[in-house]
């Protein structure tokens, strides 16, 4: 098989898997694949200069719609290493990825030959690696399908020898069926035993796929439990369960809060992806004795001692028999929460230029059809704390697989949908990490507007540690970056009037002192004795 034939065979396998999009990062060694793509009309090809960004973009696409796999295609050498962060993230988010990497012939490995590195082990642990030697057949689509269907990523490493450009067969023209993801159900009996052992559990809902929401809403109604719903669950502002959803922020879930001190809760049920709230960490520490269970389509329980039911969330929830979980104590908890939520509203008014008040203002400034992507560190937490409950429910995206602050903007560009605006809210260090991301805007399905919470450093650490080294404080502004991408730009410092988010880049400048005051007052609010 010559290079062209081998490259065409790779594309044929992609087509058979129903993959018709390629994030292409061209180089010399992958020339046979670039040529094969050029001669095919089947594939949507998005060209990238930066492999790390391309991989996160591809991840974002599949995060938004699991049926839409995008292959990332790179040349040899460190180009392959750039894929690692996105593959790590995707693994823990349960999103399968496909990498096609070109390599030099195996005989060059270890010799120091130009652009020849140990490619096979780079993604190991996060992808099933298939090494295709020069001229050898590529694996069949069904071999790869079974891996991807289990949400395992695949790394196809294809070695090419010179000549790289040769005549080859015609490109594939037919697309096979897309992937159906199956999960092996387990843990259901243990979950039922857990459910039988509690009478007033709290439910925490992490990220859900859109198709899972109805079943979770119905379950929450059926059992009556108090709920902490994170933004990416899509149920935070859901009107059908509004009288069960906590509104005063995650601090009410602290081990020294009413939930545990007043014994308003005797267990925790987590539904969906591993949540952002600190409680998930406390369940592995201070609250490890509290019986907790999780229901998820992924194998990750989030704590070492959780009862964990894996499978379709819909089927799992339909299968558990629960009593009515909302007792007198739960009612009391909701009363405390509502009193604190009222006080929280007053804090937004009192400190209107704090980070939190700005996020609240952002949520009130959005169009009803806007989607929101919240970056890691504070933005995702600020959204859960401050986004107005009275604003319409909207899709909230996040990349919480490995909690990285890298690749967040690129993921958002991949996640964007046609027919609506996607607003991405990111910290300043998070933005600095992904400065090449706007390259992807011409490949995005819909417009993306970047909102940067520029509090001049990683301020999440300010409230955790006393050393200033954690913060990486700086005085940078993003107007020059926006100009470099010819993006429209605005800087906002106050919340006195509604914001227009028409600019492609909005830099928010919260007032540091007001943010400090807000956080202090928020802490005190949750120390209050609500009787």
Nearest-approach distance from CB 56 to ligand TPP, in angstroms: 11
CB-nearer residue toward ligand TPP: 324 or 465? 465
Nearest-approach distance from CB 403 to ligand TPP, in angstroms: 5
Question: How far apart are the C-alpha atoms of 293 and 88, rounded to whole Å?
Answer: 25
CB-nearer residue toward ligand TPP: 27 or 401? 401
Nearest-approach distance from CB 462 to ligand TPP, in angstroms: 8
Question: How far apart are the C-alpha atoms of 325 and 312, rounded to whole Å?
Answer: 23
Whether the Cβ atoms of residue 20 and residue 43 lie closer than 8 Å to each other: yes
Nearest-approach distance from CB 470 to ligand TPP, in angstroms: 8
Nearest-approach distance from CB 408 to ligand TPP, in angstroms: 8
Distances (CA, A) of 36 to 30, 32, 176: 10, 6, 18
What are the residues binding ligand TPP (CB under 6 A)? 376-378, 403-406, 427-430, 455, 458-460
Nearest-approach distance from CB 345 to ligand TPP, in angstroms: 22
Question: How far apart are the C-alpha atoms of 410 and 56, rounded to whole Å?
Answer: 6
Whether the Cβ atoms of residue 300 and residue 92 lie closer than 8 Å to each other: yes
CB-nearer residue toward ligand TPP: 244 or 276? 276
What is the token pair recorded at 472? Answer: 């990486």
Question: How far apart are the C-alpha atoms of 342 and 345, rounded to whole Å?
Answer: 5
Nearest-5° angle of CA 415, CA 416, CA 420? 150
Nearest-5° angle of CA 332, CA 335, CA 338? 150
Nearest-approach distance from CB 350 to ligand TPP, in angstroms: 21
What is the token pair recorded at 202? Answer: 């709290």
Question: How far apart are the C-alpha atoms of 123 and 504, rounded to whole Å?
Answer: 34
Residue 260 φ/ψ, nearest 5 degrees: -110, -40
Alpha helices in 416-471, H assignment, sequence order = 428-433
List the 44-47 sheet strands across, edge first.
Answer: 44-47, 21-24, 70-74, 98-103, 154-159, 128-132
Nearest-approach distance from CB 414 to ligand TPP, in angstroms: 18
Residue 515 φ/ψ, nearest 5 degrees: -65, -45
**Residue ranges with strand state E in 276-399:** 292-296, 307-310, 371-374, 396-397
């Amino acid at each position: 098989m010559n290079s062209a034939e081998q490259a065409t065979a790779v594309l044929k396998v992609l087509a058979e898997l129903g993959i018709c999009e390629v994030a292409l990062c061209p180089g010399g060694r992958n020339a046979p694949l670039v040529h094969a793509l050029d001669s095919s009309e089947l594939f949507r090809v998005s060209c990238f200069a930066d492999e790390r960004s391309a991989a996160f973009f591809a991840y974002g696409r599949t995060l938004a719609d699991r049926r839409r796999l995008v292959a990332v295609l790179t040349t040899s050498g460190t180009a392959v290493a750039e894929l690692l962060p996105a593959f790590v993230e995707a693994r823990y988010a349960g999103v399968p990825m496909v990498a096609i990497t070109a390599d030099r012939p195996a005989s060059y490995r270890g010799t120091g030959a130009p652009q020849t590195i140990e490619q096979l082990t780079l993604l190991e642990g996060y992808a099933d690696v298939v090494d295709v030697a020069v001229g050898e057949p590529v694996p069949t689509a069904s071999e790869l399908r079974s891996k991807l269907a289990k949400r395992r990523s695949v790394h196809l490493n294809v070695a090419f020898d010179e000549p790289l450009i040769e005549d080859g067969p015609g490109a594939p023209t037919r697309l096979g069926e897309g992937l159906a993801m199956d999960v092996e159900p387990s843990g259901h009996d243990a979950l039922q035993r857990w459910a039988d052992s509690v009478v007033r559990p709290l439910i925490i809902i992490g990220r859900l796929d859109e198709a899972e929401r109805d079943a979770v809403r119905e379950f929450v109604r059926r059992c009556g439990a108090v709920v902490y719903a994170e933004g990416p669950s899509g149920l935070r502002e859901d009107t059908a369960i509004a009288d069960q959803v906590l509104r005063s922020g995650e601090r009410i879930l602290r081990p020294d809060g009413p939930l545990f001190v007043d014994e308003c809760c005797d267990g925790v049920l987590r539904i969906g992806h591993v949540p952002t709230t600190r409680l998930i960490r406390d369940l592995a520490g201070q609250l490890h004795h509290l019986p907790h269970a999780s229901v998820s389509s992924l194998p990750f329980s989030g704590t070492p001692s959780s009862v964990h039911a894996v499978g379709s969330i819909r089927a799992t929830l339909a299968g558990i028999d629960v009593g009515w979980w909302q007792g007198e104590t739960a009612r009391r908890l909701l009363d405390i929460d509502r009193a604190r939520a009222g006080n929280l509203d007053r804090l937004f008014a009192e400190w209107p230029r704090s980070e939190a008040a700005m996020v609240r203002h952002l949520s009130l400034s959005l169009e009803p059809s806007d989607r929101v992507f919240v970056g890691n560190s504070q933005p995702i937490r600020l959204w859960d704390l401050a986004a107005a409950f009275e604003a319409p429910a909207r899709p909230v995206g996040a990349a919480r697989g490995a909690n990285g602050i890298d690749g967040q903007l690129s993921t958002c560009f991949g996640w964007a949908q046609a027919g609506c605006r996607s607003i991405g809210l990111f910290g300043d260090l998070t933005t600095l990490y992904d400065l090449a991301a706007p390259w992807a805007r011409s490949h995005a399905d819909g417009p993306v507007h970047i909102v940067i919470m520029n509090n001049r450093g990683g301020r999440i650490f300010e409230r955790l540690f006393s050393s200033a080294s954690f913060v990486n404080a700086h005085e940078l502004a993003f107007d020059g970056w926006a100009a470099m991408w010819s993006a429209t730009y605005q800087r906002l410092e106050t919340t006195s009037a509604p914001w227009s988010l028409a600019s492609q880049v909005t830099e928010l400048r919260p007032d540091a002192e007001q943010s400090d005051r807000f956080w202090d007052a928020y802490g005190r609010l949750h120390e209050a004795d609500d009787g």
